[in-house]
Amino acid sequence: MHAAIRIEDVHKRYGALQALKGVSFDIRPGEFFGLLGPNGAGKSTLISIIAGLSQASSGQISVMGHDTVRNWRMARRSLGVVPQELVFDPFFNVVDMLRLQAGYFGCGSESWPWIDEMLERLDLADKRRSPMRGLSGGMKRRLMIARALVHEPKLLILDEPTAGVDIELRRSMWTFLEEMNRQGTTIILTTHYMEEAEALCRNIAIID
């Protein structure tokens, strides 16, 4: 069986700055995996390369057996990414934004029941017709997770999902992620909270 993610000797340079220097590791399917390390260690850079938003200077990454450069379309379809920043078009309402996002992956109305289910499970069902600018920060965070999952990827990557989030919301996000993982989604997250890594992750890697 192939790894969910295989990272082989990845280097990334930004001009004179070497952000990643020979990173290699595998993540097995079904894992709940934590990527830890101090600020500036290169975690977001590695995630951007996995997601195909940035290119490695050298080395290879495959997602579910698909090379992220040669077979980027299949690799990209296999994963959902929740970035650190909250980025939305303020003029769409919640459900239209999610349906539009599903459309980018070629998913039509067959994806709508799943979208409604996620809104229920993330406690956003009563906001389905709200414009994005009418949501609280915590609601936007949960919506970012729903958006990453519209096309039902096998793998979910979250960059500091609970940074600046209150305890109650953090716990409800953890519960949702644990459920997704039990149902078979491989999850990778970066975090600064040791408590979070300890509560959720079966394995971790530390980048320095």
- Checking DSSP bridges between strand 203-206 and strand 155-159, what pairing results, if any? unpaired
Q: Which of 7, 33, 34, 43 binds ligand ADP (CB under 6 A)?
A: 43
The nearest distance, CB 56 to ligand ADP, in angstroms, is: 13
Task: Tell me the closest approach of the beta carbon of residue 128 to ligand ADP, in angstroms.
Answer: 33
Decide if residue 169 touches ligand ADP (CB under 6 A).
no
Stretch in the footprint of ligand ADP (CB under 6 A) among 14-22, 97-105, 107-115, 150-158? 14-22
Q: Does 17 bind ligand ADP (CB under 6 A)?
A: yes
> Is residue 42 part of the contact set for ligand ADP (CB under 6 A)?
yes
162 lines the binding site for ligand ADP (CB under 6 A): no
CB of 48 to ligand ADP, least distance (A): 8
What is d(CA 169, CA 164) in angstroms, rounded to the nearest whole number?
Answer: 10
- Strand 5-14's sheet: what is its strand order? 17-27, 5-14, 58-63, 66-67
40 binds ligand ADP (CB under 6 A): yes
Interaction of residue 39 with ligand ADP, rule CB under 6 A: yes
Provide, rounded to whole angstroms, the least separation between the CB of residue 57 and ligand ADP: 12
Pairwise CA distance, residues 47 & 135, whole Å? 27
45 near ligand ADP (CB under 6 A): yes
Residue 37 or residue 131: which is nearer to ligand ADP going by CB?
37
Estimate to the nearest angstrom the gap between the alpha carbon of 66 and the chain centroid. 17
The nearest distance, CB 19 to ligand ADP, in angstroms, is 4
Q: Is 14 in the site for ligand ADP (CB under 6 A)?
A: yes
The residue behind tokens 């069902």 is 125
The residue ranges that bind ligand ADP (CB under 6 A) are 14, 17, 19, 37, 39-45
